[in-house]
Structure 1
Amino acid sequence: MTLAKYRPQIHITHLLLLKRLNAWVRLSFSGGPNAKTYVLVAGAVVLWASWPALATMAHSAPPFLVLGASALIGFLFSFLAALRKRETRVFVSVPAKTLAFVAVGLMGNNAFYLAAITRIGPAEANVVHYLWPVFLVLLASLLNRHLPSQLQMLGIACGFIGVTVALSPQMNGELDAIGVLLGVSGALTFAIYSVGRSLANVETNVVGPSLGLAGVSALGVHFILEPVYSPSTVEWFAIALMGIGPFTVANVLWDKATREGSAATISSLAFLTPLVAMALLAAFGLGNVTTATVVGALFAITGALLSSRSK
């Protein structure tokens, strides 16, 4: 069944997305006060959208091997960039607590996602994982000591409805509750990480150095708990791209954005990620992109849009 048959149902959502995207484009070109923040988030979103496809290409390899190797590749890429800019002293001076927090946040988020795609499928895990903008807004509201508005609560509800719709084909006795829990845990982990980084006072790039600690830790877990495995050429290619794109450049852009704008505000652009990610999965035939996952993703997008609105 083709997507064309669902245009009547998603027409209003498309209008909302186009309206928000049009507003962002006008803001960016006008040089408004938030233009830089939105551009940073947009760059992160585009790179993150490639993560589900790359993770699916590499998921036959043990997850901690994938995470460890890609993180170390990202670390090396970041170190060479710092060496080129003559910023190696800054690169190695990140506080230990910050290194640990970022390493745990990035590795926890990605480990949960890799585990989820093997149990509920990459397209479904993609929808579940992108509850994180909803969690982020909810956490930001709680930290600001005010309850979410009715509009934000509607957005939160839409996010969970989207997950329910995406997983509905598996609810005939095939639903893997552990897989769903893993996906939700990854979303919550990244939301906590983003809020924590928005509250941090460290102004330097902490992602690159933290990837070194994360990579060594993940490989240590791999050698202790996972079987010996030799990745194929395609898997090494996916791992390398993960390390450079979604792991390094995307998180550097996001890290800068969270330190320059409020967590709730920057989450408004995150709605693009699941849509683009699902399109990549379908284009490369890497996931079972069904009607349910598309409609579920659109509900999740609507939830992110509504929950990011504030007075």
Structure 2
Amino acid sequence: MNFFFHIDKGNRSSATAAAVGSILLWCTSGVCFTSGARLLGPMVYLTLMTGTGVITVVLLQFFRRRPLENLLRLPFRVIVIGFWGVAFYTVILAFAFGTAPEQAIGQVNLLNYLWPVWIVLLSSLLIREKIRLLPMAAGVLLGFSGIVTARGWSDLLRMPEAPVPLALALLGGFLWACYSVLLRRWRIPEEQGGTAFHFTLCAIMAAAVAVFRGEWQNLPPVGAEALFWVLFGGIGPVGLAYHWWEIGVKRGNVPLISTLAYFIPIGSTLLISLLFRESMGPGLIPGSVLIAAGAWLAGRSVSS
């Protein structure tokens, strides 16, 4: 239990382990958003899921014996980037998963998980890391070729049946990468990462969108399955994962974390394919492998 509530921010190994835990939990995010949306509606589910996540973060802060007011005492720039990189990002991603046709869920997932590629590109610009251009360019091209493979060459020039969820997923991955890179550049302490604050904003926005969409008025009874996805999604991918990720990217072994993060597209795609069979197109798994390989290659372009 001690690992859940206390991670020594000066211990690089424990910070790295925290990030690995977040990666494993994030492999389930697409399944959570999709399953919850089908049971409760995308925005109602997100409201309940992020509300549970906020409670989890508050409990983490309490058991670590940190002042609860630190969750709200944030630098202005963290408030701004967190609004876009956490709150708005999560709303549009949940909407994308919840409104995409089942056969497009895998593509939504892969577009979102281009964020490791975005992180490498943004790190070269914002953190001023030395990079080797050829491996980075090759990795980026390989990553985007994974999207083309997942989409299918025959359908590449044809307008998708539901373009909005795909566009939102692509935008979301970019916003999350910006948030991660800027946190590291500014060396923001994990207690000022703003997870609870920004997910509170996320829950409020999701609740408002749910009202506009009529989801609250048509809410079905909340059964055991829906309750499971609310609790699992809130405690895991929201509550623990974001908290652990912020610790990892600021204090851990970032090259190792980045390398492992590249395999999220494969793990999450496998889970989606198992639970949502119609999403399993012939190019989906090969596309996820190409994205992971491209992100890894781009990550290798950063000079030691």
User: TM class, shorter-chain normalised?
Assistant: 0.7 to 0.9
Counterpart-to-counterpart distance in 1, 2:72 and 2:237:
24
Which of 173, 189, 207 is residue 219 of structure 1 equivalent to? Answer: 207
| Structure 1 position 172, deviation (Å) | 7.3
Counterpart-to-counterpart distance in 1, 2:64 and 2:16:
25
| Gap regions ≥5 residues in structure 2 | 1-10
**Percent of residue pairs bearing the same amino acid type:** 21
Say yes or no: does 1:59 pair with 2:37.
yes
Counterpart-to-counterpart distance in 1, 2:262 and 2:147:
14
Cα deviations across residues 41-77 of structure 1 (Å, max 9, x unaligned)? 2111100001111111112344332222211111112
Which of 77, 80, 87 is residue 66 of structure 2 equivalent to? Answer: 87
Say yes or no: does 1:230 pair with 2:241.
no
Show the counterpart of 1:72. 51
Counterpart-to-counterpart distance in 1, 2:278 and 2:20:
24
Cα deviations across residues 68-101 of structure 1 (Å, max 9, x unaligned)? 2211111112212323333243544421633453
Show the counterpart of 1:7. none
Counterpart-to-counterpart distance in 2, 1:290 and 1:224:
33
Give secondary structure in 1 for the equivalent of 2:190. coil
Matching residue's letter, 1:215: A
Give secondary structure in 2 for the equivalent of 1:254. helix
Show the counterpart of 1:39. 17
Please tell me whether the aligned partners of residues 103 and 210 of structure 1 are also in contact (alpha carbons under 8 angstroms).
yes
Show the counterpart of 2:121. 138
Show the counterpart of 1:151. 135
Show the counterpart of 2:7. none
Q: 1:126 to 1:92 in 2, by over 3 A?
A: closer
Q: 1:216 to 1:115 in 2, by over 3 A?
A: closer
| Structure 1 position 37, deviation (Å) | 4.5
Show the counterpart of 1:119. 100
Say yes or no: does 1:306 pair with 2:285.
no
Give TM-score scaled by structure 2 length.
0.81
Cα deviations across residues 152-197 of structure 1 (Å, max 9, x unaligned)? 1100001100001101164474624333322210110111111122
Please tell me whether the aligned partners of residues 151 and 283 of structure 2 are also in contact (alpha carbons under 8 angstroms).
yes
Q: 1:297 to 1:92 in 2, by over 3 A?
A: closer
Matching residue's letter, 2:282: T
Show the counterpart of 1:3. none
Please tell me whether the aligned partners of residues 19 and 245 of structure 2 are also in contact (alpha carbons under 8 angstroms).
yes
Matching residue's letter, 1:138: L
Q: 1:88 to 1:260 in 2, by over 3 A?
A: same
Residues 120-199 of structure 1: pairs in structure 2 closer than 5 A:
121-143=104-126, 144=128, 149-168=133-152, 170-171=155-156, 173=158, 175=160, 176-199=162-185
Matching residue's letter, 2:58: F
Kindly report the root-mean-square deviation, in angstroms, between the aligned alpha carbons of the 2 structures.
2.6
| Gap regions ≥5 residues in structure 1 | 1-32
Say yes or no: does 1:252 pair with 2:243.
yes
Counterpart-to-counterpart distance in 1, 2:109 and 2:163:
16
Please tell me whether the aligned partners of residues 123 and 287 of structure 1 are also in contact (alpha carbons under 8 angstroms).
no
| Structure 1 position 127, deviation (Å) | 1.3
Q: 1:50 to 1:34 in 2, by over 3 A?
A: same
Matching residue's letter, 2:149: V
Please tell me whether the aligned partners of residues 79 and 91 of structure 1 are also in contact (alpha carbons under 8 angstroms).
no
Please tell me whether the aligned partners of residues 90 and 202 of structure 2 are also in contact (alpha carbons under 8 angstroms).
no
Please tell me whether the aligned partners of residues 57 and 286 of structure 1 are also in contact (alpha carbons under 8 angstroms).
no
Q: 1:153 to 1:36 in 2, by over 3 A?
A: farther
Q: Which moved more, 1:259-268 or 1:197-206?
A: 259-268
Please tell me whether the aligned partners of residues 140 and 264 of structure 1 are also in contact (alpha carbons under 8 angstroms).
no
Give secondary structure in 2 for the equivalent of 1:291. coil
Number of paired residues?
A: 279
Give secondary structure in 1 for the equivalent of 2:189. coil
Show the counterpart of 1:105. 85
Cα deviations across residues 224-278 of structure 1 (Å, max 9, x unaligned)? 4544232542233212211111111111111011211586663222122111112
